[in-house]
Amino acid sequence: MEWFWPEGFYAVVMVAAFAFGAFAFKLPISIAMSASAIIGAALAGFGFPLRHLVEGMFGYIDTILIIASAMIFMNTVQSIGLMEAVAALIIRKFRSRPIMLSGGVMFLIMLPGMLTGSSTAGVLTTGALVAPVLIKLGVPVIKTAAFIAMGAIIGMIAPPINIPVMIIGGGIDMPYVGFTIPLLIATIPMALFSMAVLVIPYLKGRGAIDETALEAELRRMENVTLSARLFLPFFVLIALMSIDQIFAGKIPSLGMPLQFLLASASAFLTGRKWNVLDSATDALRDAIPVLGILMGVGMFIQIMTLTGVRGFVVVSALAIPAWLLYVSIGISMPAFGAISSFGAASVLGVPFILALLSKDQIIVASGLSLIAGLGDLVPPTALAGIFAAQVVGAKNYFAVLKDCIIPGAAIALWGICLIALANPIAALIR
């Protein structure tokens, strides 16, 4: 009967309005979310609350700046030829060792997500880079897309930057400290499992290899000579982040956006010519869909808070029987991720972690973020699946999502295991 309360009714109408706009009218996800927020506010008697809409739009401004600047950084290191050269080196060095080769490629796909907190960054940068090579190595097109999608999602959850955890932590005043090892525990086994299911069998000889085309692709990628100087942007970024950690509270923090931009600027010292304006423009063009969704999510959540829907969701989560809580987490967080995995972390992650206060909060938040990341595979947004399909030229992204079912289910189960065993795991690593 709870869903017949006014707040429950508003929640149903807002979600239905979003789904109707996204599916029936084919509106961009960000516009559909904004429209559903406006409808929810009007239905609750708040008219057109411009102040709240603008406030919500900029609710994730820190995250937006991090993603935008990190995308510029990734596009910069790609423009100077570093990522292609590293990828070619890994493929040549581990060509006869499928496990090492798939591990190296998985790390390359994960890296942009690890630095930006966005799965889209992984798909559109290094994912697009390694896709042609994987296909030429004999991995089927759809399997390649699924592997890129899973690697990008796992990278989004891996340290050092995990935005869903930051959002959950912000909701309960938990600092983003001490998450490195828990997030590695959450992501490394899933990366290995995805490799084993999607890629390794084909690298062991099950796929047909076009040696001539593969060699031509590798030669194209080897357009620069790897040197320590070429890695300067990464060295600068690591140094700036390390200084922030070592001298935290003693000197003013530069902030992640400025760190990424300074590291990008150091590419001028690598000796490679590149067009900074074109690189920044391409990076922001790739990031705009994600940034728009974040603005829409902010408006949606702001209106949910204004109308009491968010409080209703929190109370409902706290009232869930213990035996049903884990099932609810495994189903509702990825499902809400169809709107946004960041939104799932904000709207559902906070009440779920409050319902699990008896368990280690860092491990629980890590497990919740892992499950929330699956939202990037859930239609209609399905950002990782849609962009991965585009990268390999597949017309039907549902075929990609089908191949993601097994590793996605494994991620959900692993996340629930981390949450259920949070206290024993915390005792082992501390």
Express each pLDDT in 265-286 by its tens digit.
999 988 788 888 888 898 888 7
Q: Which domain holds residue 202?
A: 3-224+272-429
Q: What is the pLDDT of residues 399-417, one digit of tens each?
A: 999 999 999 999 999 999 9
Residue 141: inside a domain:
yes
The reply to whether 245 falls in a domain is no
Q: What is the mean pLDDT of residues 350-363?
A: 89
* 257 located within any domain: no
pLDDT at position 39: 94
Mean of the per-residue pLDDT values of the chain: 87
Q: What is the mean pLDDT of residues 423-429?
A: 93
Residue 254 lies in a domain: no
Residue 207 has a pLDDT of 53
Q: Provide the pLDDT for residue 23.
A: 74
Task: Tell me the pLDDT tens digit for each residue of 37-77.
Answer: 999 999 999 999 999 999 988 887 887 888 889 889 988 98
Let me know: does 38 contact 48? Beta carbons within 8 Å: yes
Task: Specify whether the CB–CB gap between 265 and 257 falls below 8 A.
Answer: no
- Would you state the pLDDT for residue 309? 83
Q: What is the pLDDT of residue 53?
A: 92
Is residue 368 a part of any domain in this protein?
Answer: yes
pTM for the model stands at 0.83
- Position 1 scores a pLDDT of 41
Q: Are 388 and 149 in contact (CB under 8 A)?
A: yes
Res. 143: pLDDT tops 80 = yes
In terms of pLDDT, which residue wins out, 135 or 153?
153
Of 233 and 293, the one with more pLDDT: 233
Tokens of 22: 């996204």
Q: What's the rounded mean pLDDT across residues 300-313?
A: 84
Which pLDDT tens digit goes with each residue over 144-183?
999 999 999 999 999 988 989 988 887 787 888 889 999 9
* In a domain? residue 250: no
277-288 as b/e: b if 16+ CB within 10 A: eebbebbeebbe
Q: What domain count does the chain have?
A: 1
pLDDT of residue 219: 84
pLDDT in tens, 214-264: 788 788 887 777 788 889 999 999 899 888 878 877 888 888 899 999 999
Instruction: Answer whether residue 41 is part of any domain.
Output: yes
Contact by Cβ (8 Å): 59, 109: no
Residue 234 lies in a domain: no
At 81-98, the pLDDT tens digits run 888 888 888 888 888 888
The answer to whether the CB of 235 falls within 8 A of the CB of 229 is no
Q: Is 3 a residue whose pLDDT tops 70?
A: no
- Per-residue pLDDT of 368-410, as tens digits, reads 999 999 999 988 778 888 889 989 988 888 999 999 999 999 9
Query: pLDDT class for 2, splitting at 50, 70, 90?
Result: very low
